[in-house]
Amino acid sequence: MNKKCKQCQETKDIYDFARTRDNYDKIKYLTVCRACKSLNMRAKRKVEKVIEVVLEQDPLEQAPDAFKDDPRAVNEIMYGKVTKRPTYLPSGSND
């Protein structure tokens, strides 16, 4: 049984495709072959690494007061502020 890879457009043996199971425990084959899948994973890892580097070099986040509250926020009016009130159980309901 052969299957065409969606990414490299090559027709390969079904065993060259990664398998997964659906909700009904039925075996399903991915639309990309194993080679393309590992390529994608590698590319994804590369992208994640780039993002990490960018975050590391962010001068705003590295500043010592980066996460301090804005002093103007203290004077802000908080609409919809919730006040907690304790719940009293009615007495004399012991069965």
User: Which of 7, 20, 38, 40 touches Zn ion (CB under 5 A)?
Assistant: 7
CA gap 52, 29 in Å, rounded: 32
In angstroms, give the least distance from the CB of 47 to Zn ion: 19
Question: What part of residues 35-64 is at the interface with Zn ion (CB under 5 A)?
Answer: 36
What's the alpha-carbon Rg for the chain, to the nearest Å? Answer: 28
Closest by alpha carbon to 47, among 55, 59, 35, 57?
Answer: 55
- Of 2-10, 41-49, 54-62, 66-74, which part binds Zn ion (CB under 5 A)? 2-10
Give the interface with Zn ion as residue ranges (CB under 5 A). 5, 7-8, 33, 36
